[in-house]
Amino acid sequence: MADNTLIPVAAEFAAEAHIDAAAYERLYQWSLDDPEGFWREQAKAIDWIRPPTRIKETSFAPDDVHIRWFADGTLNASVNCLDRHLATKADKPAILWEGDDPGESRTVTWRELHDKVNRLANALKALGVGKGDFVTVYLPVIPEVLVAMLACIRIGAVHSVVFSGFSSEALAGRVADCRAKVLITADEGHRGGRRLPLKRQADAALESIAHKVDHVVVVRRSGAPVPFTPGRDQWYEEITEAADPVCPPVEMSAEDPLFILYTSGSTGKPKGLVHTTGGYLVHVATSWKNIFDYKDGEVHWCTADVGWVTAHSYKIYGPVLNGATIVMFEGVPTWPDTSRWWSIIEKLKVNIFYTAPTAIRALMRDGEAPVRKHDLSSLRVLGSVGEPINPDAWLWYHRVIGGGRCPIVDNYWQTETGAVMLVPLPGATPLKPGAAAKPYFGIRPVLFDAAGQAVTGAGTGNLCFADSWPAQARTILRDHQRFVQTYFAPYPGHFFSGDGAKRDEDGYYWIAGRVDDVINVSGHRLGTVELESAIGSHPAVAESAVVGFPHEIKGQGVFAYVTLKAEFAETDLLRQEIVAWVRKSIGPIATPDVIQWAHALPKNRAGKILRRILTKIAANDFENFGDVTTLAEPEVVGDIVERRRQAIGRR
């Protein structure tokens, strides 16, 4: 699909939207011309104990990088997420929870959530947790994870949520790095019909590190017997039932830490990114409402696991700050069958659905039949996040899931940015399938070419952002120099995203992927996203991943892992057809040297393909995969390795 293909905003949608095209232009210009005035107005979206008078204080000088927003304001985050909604929503649902087993579900009202948060907050205080202490949360997607996060921020503690699919080694490093005082986990997690031994993994993690947590709080999820250390371990149910249901909120500075979230680092040591209270809450509260055009009473479902920033900003804090009902789902979209997501949307009458492109592509494999069994007419807005979505998946998502009527807000942002950077607002922006579209309010994208010069007009380059925005991470925990060197040293005065991008003639941005996700074929630089998009446009292809591999003549060759739709067979003829398809789509220089079939691709629980593993396999390195604890389905790697070994043996 050509870059200039536009799907216009429906007139009836724009007429009811919070922000239409004219409002977007006016507000965006205001946010650039007068950022302090703009964000002072946005700050009214949350309740302050002491409203801020100092709005923006930032410096990006090499020897003095600091970011502060609303610095003299004070507030409590849990009051904004809970207390202020009780007058009008006390007995309405805050959480609609669906278990891994389709027979399990729970509804938690705002009143019940408030009670649970207060009780756990008091229980944590009784365990010695106070303002500024770190609490690690290692839980599955159950309501108690939200309770734990909000209980921490009620008493001024800093939460560090660790994805429940991480191994004991990955958990250990994160607990030790933040020096957690308490770890909150569960006896087990449930996922895809399997049990995850969370308590046993937590014990193994704590045994492997010198840092000692004071207490381990254990939620009874399955009731399975687990090791229990008297004095250290506490049953969640027992300590919360005994706790006082009233916990006065702690007054916090806007620049006090709200949470830390670990993201992968190039050195192998995860980075604990610090997000603070006031700026983050203002930015995610207002941006969530705007980008999804939320109307009071709607049901919002973000499918991200709670260990990722997508869940923090737009599964939990954004919607909860706005008093929205959220869906929490413990399982996977393909169990017990591939219609599970669609059955939940029908059952809960979901209005806003937000997921990852990899999930959409995986579900495309089974065609439209699993979707057609369910009534998805409640849907009004769709979202896509995590990586660029290829136009064919975008169109399938729009037509089959959204019925051709739901705008797709395909947004770009990162753990480091805290909130959306590039996004089409559904009532304002005509859509281009595959494009991250236009900058959000206050966001100033800049493309730098290979010579370090800013690109004007249409062009490509490394994607950076000038100035600052309230949800921006402030530092890396106990390593501010690493923060400066990673994000601000490459292009002084600018935040470097690490991604490449294209800006077209209409000012729309197209994300090309990580700067290092480039294959140099005979001196020609090819972006893997462009190659994957071309392969993915073939009618037989459900999903693909492209990596470079050593090539005697070209330097690097193109190695494509391809997953087919269910109705297509893996044949040499189809291989040849896909090769020809790519040659026609991009040109002979992009010809795949190897196409290897794959039943599935190795992904983390956020849906991102782990290309470093695929790169190793393509280079015939079957042993040095590094940390594989983030894999959602570890067995996928074994299948791909075996296929590669067989292919080598046939040479």
Q: Are 338 and 444 in contact (CB under 8 A)?
A: no
DSSP state letter for 433 = T
Residue 107 lies in a domain: no
Q: Which positions ≥6 away from 224 have C-beta within 8 Å? A: 187, 188, 195
Looking at residue 34, its pLDDT comes to 98
Average pLDDT over residues 591-597: 95
Looking at residue 265, its pLDDT comes to 53
Rounded to whole angstroms, the Cα distance separating 472 from 68 reads: 9
Domain count, the chain: 1
Residue 161 lies in a domain: no
Q: Which positions ≥6 away from 99 have C-beta within 8 Å? A: 105, 106, 190, 330, 331
* Nearest one of 360, 434, 342, 359 to 396, comparing CA atoms: 360
Rounded to whole angstroms, the Cα distance separating 338 from 220 reads: 29
pLDDT score of 77 more than 70: yes
Distances, alpha carbon 246 to alpha carbons 117, 152, 249, 288, in Å = 9, 14, 9, 30
Model confidence pTM above 0.75: yes
Residue 185 lies in a domain: no
Looking at residue 264, its pLDDT comes to 65
pLDDT score of 641 more than 80: yes
Half-sphere exposure of 75 (CA within 13 A, CB side): 30
pLDDT tier, 589 (very low <50, low <70, confident <90, very high otherwise)? confident
Q: Are 560 and 603 in contact (CB under 8 A)?
A: no
- The two most distant CA atoms of the chain are separated, in Å, by 72
Rounded to whole angstroms, the Cα distance separating 30 from 35 reads: 7
**Per-residue pLDDT tens for 187-201?**
999 999 999 999 999
Residue 127 lies in a domain: no
Pair type for strands 444-448 and 459-466: antiparallel
Weakest mean pLDDT among 181-185, 276-280, 566-570, 628-632 = 628-632
Q: Domain holding 604: CATH number?
A: 3.30.300.30
Residue 417 lies in a domain: no
Rounded to whole angstroms, the Cα distance separating 464 from 488 reads: 10
Looking at residue 266, its pLDDT comes to 46
pLDDT tier, 650 (very low <50, low <70, confident <90, very high otherwise)? low
% of the chain at pLDDT higher than 70: 96
**Per-residue pLDDT tens for 262-312?**
986 544 567 899 999 999 999 999 999 999 999 999 999 999 999 889 999
Residue 546 lies in a domain: yes
What does the mean pLDDT of the chain come to?
A: 93
pLDDT score of 382 more than 80: yes
pLDDT score of 410 more than 90: yes
pLDDT score of 514 more than 80: no
Residue 410 lies in a domain: no
Looking at residue 624, its pLDDT comes to 75
Looking at residue 522, its pLDDT comes to 65
Looking at residue 429, its pLDDT comes to 98
> What is the DSSP annotation of 274-322?
EEEHHHHHHHHHHHHHHHTT--TT-EEEE---TTSHHHIIIIIIHHHHT
Expressed as residue numbers, the domain containing 569 is: 517-649
Average pLDDT over residues 28-33: 98
Average pLDDT over residues 142-149: 98
pLDDT score of 586 more than 90: no
Residue 261 lies in a domain: no
Distances, alpha carbon 163 to alpha carbons 96, 382, 631, 633, in Å = 21, 25, 11, 14
Chain-centroid distance of CA 19 in Å reads 24
How many CB atoms are closer than 10 A to CB 456?
Answer: 9
% of the chain at pLDDT higher than 90: 81
**Per-residue pLDDT tens for 303-348?**
999 988 999 999 999 999 999 999 999 999 999 999 999 999 999 9
pLDDT score of 523 more than 60: no
> Coil, strand or helix: which one is 161?
strand
pLDDT score of 2 more than 50: no
pLDDT score of 1 more than 60: no
Looking at residue 515, its pLDDT comes to 80
pLDDT score of 446 more than 90: yes
